[in-house]
Chain A
Amino acid sequence: MDDRLLLIAIGALVGVCSGLAAVALNTGLHFMAGALSGLRAHWWLFVLPGIGAMLSSLFLEKAIREGAGHGVPEVVYSVSRHGGLMRLRSAFSRLISSCLTIGSGGSAGPEAPVVMSGASIGSNVAQFFSLNERQRIALVGCGSAGALAAIFNAPIAGLVFTIEIIVGEWSARNIVPIAVASVAGAQVSRLLQGNQIAFTHLRFEVGITATLAAIGLAVVTALVSIALTRALRGSHHVSGKLPLPFWVRAFLGGCVVGAIGLVLPEVLGEGYHSIRQMVEGSFAPGLGLVFLLVAAKIAATSFTLGWGGSGGIFAPCLVIGSFSGLMYHRFLEMLWPGLSLVNEGCFALLGMAGLVSGILQAPLTGIFLIVEITGGYETILPLILVSALSTTICHAWEPASFYFRDLVEKGQYLRPRTDAKVLADLSIAELVETDCKTVPRSMRLGEFIRVIQQSHRNYFPVVDPETGQFEGMIHLDDIRPYLFDPLLYETVFLEQIMETDVETVDIHDELSVVLARMDAKGLFSMPVVSADRFIGMISKATLLDKYRNELMVQTLH
């Protein structure tokens, strides 16, 4: 079978499995919501989100032994650095842990966990069939797209999110299987849960005034996105400094969320009920309370995810975005009571798109997600405007999106065909030149000149012949002053003229770091030294050759 057809067929299978994972999580969340709904009336049950978050963290750390994280950055890391290799346990671990966190009232979403689950399914199917790295990455994308398409019943959003966030490469080779997987995932969801859109489709008549007003909303959603990003990071930072076991931190964070929920129950769980009310225009609380809800939801999400709960940022973004849109609309109406704006439900939608685009810095995902989950194209013009502007403003303040910031800081955000990716795929061991002639420090200059005559290199490493220890380097320039004085040939020893303060490279160093050091010091080659032993030389010329080869490999396949 043709490779592409095979990949499409396996992609469809992965899409179905990811869709089933998404349906399983949805069913679990509905079950939890039903089981716990009767208990919400008791004030002392503010500890419920705490218990959920604690169980979730214990499950991840002790039962599954999986390092906890938001999920999506781990998938991106795996694609960037390890060709999409993921552990099998990730296929189900986040489903269970996020079900515990969200079902008990934690402020988080099920989308990142299903994306991780789907990606892991794709990766493990690829491992089972022993597919190559590029095919494996495509299947990771298939899993992610199928899962997201199923959880939102939004196949285009699944495809676009995967290409924008997970794979990072718009190529037909990736898009086709991912699109098929996205369809398969959405179809599974429709078969098992019905063809429902998440939020009621309403016809909004969007005029020029509303479109212009959307510019202001973009600024508001961008600012809220930045506030949410920083609150999440700050919360994670603060909780990490507390001298408490991880499960106690998760419990405390959950309890804070529960306490906020006693006053403002809208912040609990994924919060889709509130969004439905806002889109339909039946959300009663006034401007002040909506403003408070934005702040409370940001706090609740930060305490849930930053303190050890499990879940994604997508659903909180939708909720906070719709609150922001509503708040902005009501603020405008308060300022200009006669202003003829579209229904506030439309601004709730625009706010969702603005926040998703701002946090993820992925405008297309924001646009298509909102179009699909509301089932209408009427708002497309202000949607594009809000998404594009919100992304741009956020990018100016926060150069990397919420998902990528940690990866960028660690130099792990590597996209196909970029300089960083090509360099990361090469290792020092591949580039090291071992045909160097080493010399001892006790060698006389005359003897050394005979060595030079037999070599085509300009650099000569000085190595202890007994221990193999690297001691320094001699460059041809170093001996130039002595070359034309034969009297010195028998009186000058290499130890007198060698350079001992030499910049060296370790065999396990990152190539990008080595290249930066070469550039900073104006060097064209450096000795590679491991455990004090000289291994060989690494030069910019060889690096360029290998770089071009690697770039061709990445471009052709």
Chain B
Amino acid sequence: MEMQMLHIFRNTPLGREMLLQSAYFCKQLEILPLIYIPDYVKFLMYFENDVVQVDLDASYLKAPDSAKAHASEIIQGMGLPQPRFFTPKHFTASTLPDLPVDFDFMCCPRSISDLSSKIGLGYIGPRVRRIVKSARFPVLIPSAVYKPWTSIAVLFGGSSNAVKALRLGIRLSRRCGLPLDVFSHPENRSQKDYENIIQEAGLKDDFDNYVRTWRISESRPFQENLYEIPHDALLVLGAYGHGLIKELLFGSTMEIVQTVTPNSMLIVGPNYRAVI
């Protein structure tokens, strides 16, 4: 079955830029974009064990007459077929549509729930965090401007979500034929420990076959190591590897990475199930 990526379209210059990123992602991975043009500033997503209300800002409702045409133009300009537009069928309340959650990917701008002024300032909206936490699909958080990526980079820290991210990175590399680089920043682990984790996850052979380089840097702070990631790579990483206290004190890896790197990120949450 064809895989689908949900994109919530905003008919503004920034929104069109984001759609361009989604279109490129879909083209690279040969998946179908599914576009939702909101009629209301909020919607619900019912996951297995959580319900997330996304509150959009009013810019998502701008210029509804030309939204479909603009979205189609961008998608088709990328060489993809006419996109499919999603129309909600179920409503929790009359102005509160429910969006299904059985997509294979979803694109979220850097902040989906706060003012657009915060986009690009290194802030991942709380709703995006909850979507990542609950979703079975990975979430694409595009960079602020459209930039085609020519390789795939995986941040591998050894956690269970990082293993999922590595598995996804390998599959993406296999699917779109782009080189794969892995970056690790050992905190309390040696390279041997990482190799054992990869072995136990059954990824040893794929790792050897697909990974172009594996960089392990321990001498510098984590943030500085992030500069080694190619600027034109799709960055794949797992979310929620840290404990709650540590995250509250130091911020999540997801946010640190986003603040430092200009890359588009594909975030794998704890409930991710492989589809590729």
Interface residues of chain A, those whose CB is within 8 Å of chain B, are 65-69, 74, 77-78, 81-82, 85-87, 89, 127, 130, 410, 412, 427, 429, 432, 434, 467, 507-508, 510, 530-533, 535-536
Contacts and interface: CB of A to CB of B under 8 A. Distances in A.
5 contacts: A67-B92, A67-B96, A85-B51, A410-B91, A427-B102
A535 B50 CA distance: 30
Given A81-B90, A85-B49, A434-B1, 4 more contacts: A82-B98, A467-B81, A531-B84, A532-B81
Contact of A412 (B4, B49, B90): B90
Interface in B56-70: none
Nearest to A508: B100
Interface in B1-17: 1-2, 4
Contact of A87 (B32, B51, B91): B51
Contacts of B92: 67, 74, 77-78
A46 to B, nearest CB: 29
B90 A67 contact: no
A536 B1 contact: yes
Nearest to A131: B49
Given A427-B102, A429-B102, A535 B2 contact: yes
Interface of B: 1-2, 4, 32, 42, 44, 46-47, 49-51, 53, 55, 81-84, 86, 89-96, 98, 100, 102
B93 A67 contact: yes
A69 B93 contact: yes
A89 B55 CA distance: 13
Contact of A85 (B50, B55, B82): B50
B93 A432 contact: no
A535 B102 contact: no
Contacts of A530: 2, 4, 32, 84
B9 to A, nearest CB: 16
Contacts of B49: 85, 127, 130
Contacts, number: 69
Contacts of B91: 410
Q: Which of A69, A410, A535 has the most CB of B within 10 A?
A: A69
A531 B50 contact: no
B74 to A, nearest CB: 16
Return the 5 tightest CB-CB contacts between A and B, nearest first.
A67-B93, A67-B96, A531-B84, A85-B51, A82-B46
A432 B46 CA distance: 23
B46 A531 contact: no
A69 B92 CA distance: 9
Nearest to A67: B93
A412 B97 CA distance: 13
B126 to A, nearest CB: 13
Nearest to A429: B102
B123 to A, nearest CB: 19
A533 B2 contact: yes
Contacts of B55: 65
B51 A74 contact: no
Contacts of A532: 81-82
Nearest to A68: B93
B85 to A, nearest CB: 10
Given A508-B89, A530-B2, A531-B32, A65 B51 contact: no
Contact of A82 (B1, B51, B93, B95): B51
Contacts of A66: 53, 93, 96
A532 B2 CA distance: 11
A86 B49 CA distance: 10
Contacts of B95: 67
Contacts of A429: 1, 102
Q: Which of B4, B49, B55, B82 has the most CB of A within 10 A?
A: B49
Given A68-B93, A78-B92, A467-B81, A531 B51 contact: no
Contacts of B47: 85
A314 B2 CA distance: 49
B42 A65 contact: yes
Given A85-B46, A429-B102, A432-B1, A510 B93 contact: no
A89 B82 CA distance: 39
Q: Which of A86, A410, A508, A510 has the most CB of B within 10 A?
A: A508
A67 B42 contact: yes
Given A85-B50, A536-B1, A531 B42 contact: no
A65 B94 contact: no
Contacts of A467: 81
Q: Which of B51, B94, B96 has the most CB of A within 10 A?
A: B51
A525 B1 CA distance: 18
A510 B44 CA distance: 19
B173 to A, nearest CB: 24
A531 B82 contact: yes
